Amino acid sequence: MRVLVAIEPVDFRRGVDGLAQQCRAALAENPFSGTVFVFRNRQRTAVKLLVYDGQGFWLCHKRLSQGRFRWWPTASEAAAPLRAHELQVLLCAGDASATQAAPEWRKVGT
């Protein structure tokens, strides 16, 4: 599954339609592609995930009860890709860049 993290914070008053428009305008991505889009607020206390599953949109919101998301990707582009295990670490308010995961699966040569 493709995961894209928006580098810049967004207005968290936005719902599904507003975030889908953010995908189109700021990220230059199709919100109907099945990609998981990850957004954060300015204070780094909350994240929203937007994904289209073929029938409709899922919008998930996580707000930390204390503290902030310490790590957020940086890039010269509007969005940065993450792997699934890195997203899981990010959602637990950890440093996804410090994960020591096994390399991605690759086809074995014949």
pLDDT in tens, 13-36: 999 999 999 999 999 999 999 999
Q: What is the pLDDT of residue 20?
A: 98
Average pLDDT (54-72) is: 95
* pLDDT over 70, % of the chain: 93
**What are residue 8's phi and psi, to 5 degrees?**
-85, 150
Pull the structure tokens for residue 39. Answer: 């957004």
Is the entire prediction scored with pTM above 0.85?
Answer: yes
CA distance 49 to 26: 16
